[in-house]
Amino acid sequence: MNISQKQQYQIWESNEEIQAFREYLRIPSVHPDVDYDECVHFLRRQATSLDLEAEVVEVNPAKPVVIISWVGTDPSAPSIILNSHMDVVPVYAEMWSHPPFAAHMDEEGRIYGRGSQDMKCVGIQFLAVIRTLKREGVKLRRTLHVTFVPDEETGGELGMRDFVRTERFKKLNCGFAIDEGYATEEEVFRLFYGERAIRRANFYISGTPGHGSLLLSGTAGEKARKLLDRMMDYRAMEEKKLENNPELSIGDVTMLNLTMCAGGVQCNVVPPEIMLCFDIRVSNDISIKQFDALLEKWCNESGGGIRIEFAVQNPVTEVTRLDDSNQFWVALKGALDKMNLEVRPRINPGATDIRFLRELGIPAVGFSPMNRTPVLLHDHDEYLHAETFLKGIDIYKEIVVAIANV
C-alpha cells in the first residue's frame, strides 16, 4: 500500500531514534568554549533507556568522555569500541535556511542541524543498534563500548589523545574500533583505513629590514617568494598526480596549503621577518623523515635564515590491514557483502580521533553509512535525510553483530 508524503513524515517524526537524533542536534555543543554538560545529561538518559550505565571520565577539566558499555557473553575477549565526538564546528547562522540548532525536519525528510553529518548521527546510530539488538534478545560475544569524546574538531588533544593514555582506556581492552567517515554522493560507500601524517608548519622567514624606498637584498619578502614557489610547485605536482590517475583519491597524495601570512608594521617599512603557515598532509607512501628534510632543503635554497616551528607534528601511524590477517575486517566485509553494499577503501584526507587508537596498534576503520548524500560536513545547511539515518542503523547493526561475534 502506498502512503502519502504526510504519512511518511509522521512515521519519521514519531520514530524514537529520529527523536533522539534531533534532541541531540539541538544541544549547541559548538566551538569555541564548548559546554558538554547538556550532552552528558542527554547521554545519561539514553543509557538509562537502554538499561545501561553511562560512565563519565574527565581526563582534562570540563572535557568529559562518556562510556556506555554493553557487556558481552565473553567479557575477557578484546572489546569493540564504537566512537563518536560530541563537539561540532562553529556556524554562520545567517547562511542557514533553518536555525542550525533547531533540528528542523522538512517535508522531504531532510534533518537540518550542525552535527547531522559530522557526527552526532553516528553516536545515536550506535545506541540505536544496541536498543534493537536488546529488544530482539540478541547476545554478543564481545563487549561493546560506545564512547563519546570531546574536542575532536580542535585536534582531540584534550579528548581522545589523552584518554587513550589512561589506565581506564587500557581496561576497555579494545580489539577493534569504528569511528566516523563521511558522506558520499555516489552509490558506493567510503571506508577509511588510514590517515595522512599532519604537519602544521610555521615558517619564520628573516631578512634584511629597512626603508621601503630602497632596493635591499636578502629581504624576508624575497625569501618568502622563493619558498612559496617551491611549496606550490610541489603542490601542483601532487595535484597533477591525482588528475592523471583515476585510481587515486585525495588521501593518496601530499597536500600543502598556505593558510596564514603575517608580518610587517606599515607599508613603507621592509619587515625583518615574515611568517607563512602551511597545513601539510603527507601521504603514506612517503618517508616522513625525508619529507621533513625536504622542507629544510627548501628553506636553505630560499636564502636561509628560515626557522620552522611545527604547531602540529603528528607521528606516522600504520594503516589498518584490510586482508585475511585482520579477522575483524573479514567479518566486517562479510557483513557488507551480505547486504550487497559496495565499499571503496580509502585513506582519509582529514584527521579523526581514530588515529590515536591506531598509534597503539589497534585496528580501526572510519565508516559513516551515508551514500547518495551531499557532503555537507562543516558547511552551511548541513543535513541528513531521515531515511539515510534509519538505513544507517540497519547497516551498523549487521556490522556490529559480525565483528562483535568474531
Q: Write out the catalytic residue numbers.
A: 87, 152
Dihedral angle over CA of 249, 254, 255, 258, nearest 10: 180
Cell of 340: 550487497
How large is the greatest C-alpha to C-alpha distance in the chain, in angstroms? Answer: 83
Residues ≥6 apart with Cβ < 8 Å to 115: 24, 25, 29, 88, 121, 382
Burial of 22 (0-12, 13-18, 19+ CB in 10 A): buried
Distance separating alpha carbons of residues 103 and 24, to the nearest angstrom: 9
Instruction: Kindly provide the residue ranges of all beta strands, DSSP E only, lying in 71-196, ordered along the sequence.
Output: 79-85, 110-112, 144-149, 174-179, 189-195
CA 393 to chain centre: 19
Task: Give, rounded to a whole angstrom, the gap between the first and last alpha carbons of the chain.
Answer: 40
Is there a contact between 150 and 56 (Cβ–Cβ < 8 Å)?
Answer: no
Distance separating alpha carbons of residues 85 and 34, to the nearest angstrom: 12
Distance separating alpha carbons of residues 73 and 138, to the nearest angstrom: 11
Residue 258 Cα distances to 111, 180, 201, 309, 352, angstroms: 35, 27, 10, 15, 21
